[in-house]
Structure 1
């Protein structure tokens, strides 16, 4: 979204240490960002941008195709997580086995 303040990931160190403002939206989820301080304009993919909290434009909601940070909550222990697992049956030759007797 134009005018949104974002954190920019440093390409060498992978640290989110630069801030800037989105100035242009390009195809293929690319954005031009004007960096704070130096004023340089850099091209970044959405994966290398994170919105600064509380900085979204107040009059427009964020577009659906631009996700700068995840808003999904993590599942609790009561929710099903991951893929369904198959039930493991005991082999037929163990059908007469009684656990704990010797």
Structure 2
């Protein structure tokens, strides 16, 4: 009877030890899962930050290109007007010369 009681006590201790180890594994798994979840969220945050930075960079680049294009168009218009004025001046001078030659 004493041996049976000792065996029962030993079995009970083993069951308690197994249960304690199982609870440790459950806690460790939960902690690992939480840590993994945090890492995934951090990675998602980094990906989102990168996406936003790229979008902002693209918007900035498009804006700069639009401004450059407008400036270039303005410069081309100014040069066209200056060229037209020069052509008009040359034509007027030629006409004056021709008129003087005709009057002589």
TM-score normalised to the size of structure 2?
0.20
Higher Rg: 2
| Structure 1 or 2: more helix by fraction | 2
